[in-house]
Copies of this chain bind each other. A is one copy, B any other.
C-alpha cells in the first residue's frame, strides 16, 4: 500500500513544521535517540530537507534547546513590584512554577538528560543565562532576610529554600512514569494529581520555614 505524504496544511512551510515537530521528538526521546529520519517521517518530508534547512542535527537541536533551556531557567519568578506578603510570594513562586512546567511537562527530563549526558553543550548555553537566575536569587534573598530578621521565618539560605521548591516541583515531572505506574494513572489523571499536589508542596515548603503558628 502506498503511504500518502501529508503535505503541510495551506501556507505552512516545512521549515517551521520541522522546528515544531523536532521539538516534540527531542522532548520525547532526548538528543541521542532522536534521528533526523524520524523527524522527517513525522513531518512528511524528505530527510535531506532537515539538513537543507538546519545543516546538522546538532544545530537544529541547539536552536531549540536554547529556547527551552531559557524557559526552564526563568520558570521560577515572582513580581517584586506586587509587594505581596512573604507567604504569598512563596505561594506564588510554587504555583507559578508548577503551572509553567505543567505546560512543558517533558522539559525537566530533557534538561536533566542533556545536562548529564552532554555537559559541554550545557555549559555553553548556561553561561548565557546565569546572571538572570542569580539576580532572581538575590531578590528573593532580600525578602527572605527581612523575614528572618523579623523572626517570622527560620534561618535558611535562599538557595536552600529555592532548591526545596524546585526539588518538590520538578520531581513530579521526572518521576511521572514511576508514579503513574504505581498509582495506575493515565496521563490526564497524572496531570490532575500534579495540580492537586501544588497545595501540598506549598504547605510543606511554607511550614518548613515559617515561625508563625498555623492558621486554620
Q: Which residues of chain A have a CB within 8 Å of any CB of chain B?
A: 29-30, 32-33, 109, 111-113, 115-117, 119, 122-123, 126, 130, 133-134, 154, 156, 160, 163-164, 166-168, 170-172, 174-175, 177-179, 181-182, 197, 200-201, 203-205, 207-209, 211, 214
Contact = CB atoms under 8 A, between A and B. Distances in A.
B181 A123 contact: yes
B117 A33 contact: yes
A32 B151 CA distance: 51
Nearest to A31: B33
A214 B207 CA distance: 11
A20 B204 CA distance: 40
**This chain's copy number in the assembly:** 2
A160 B32 contact: no
Contact of A170 (B154, B164, B171, B179): B171
Given A33-B117, A130-B182, 19 more contacts: A30-B117, A112-B112, A115-B175, A116-B174, A123-B181, A126-B178, A126-B181, A134-B182, A164-B200, A166-B171, A167-B167, A167-B171, A174-B174, A203-B208, A204-B208, A207-B207, A207-B208, A207-B209, A211-B214
A5 to B, nearest CB: 28
Nearest to A213: B213
Nearest to A175: B112
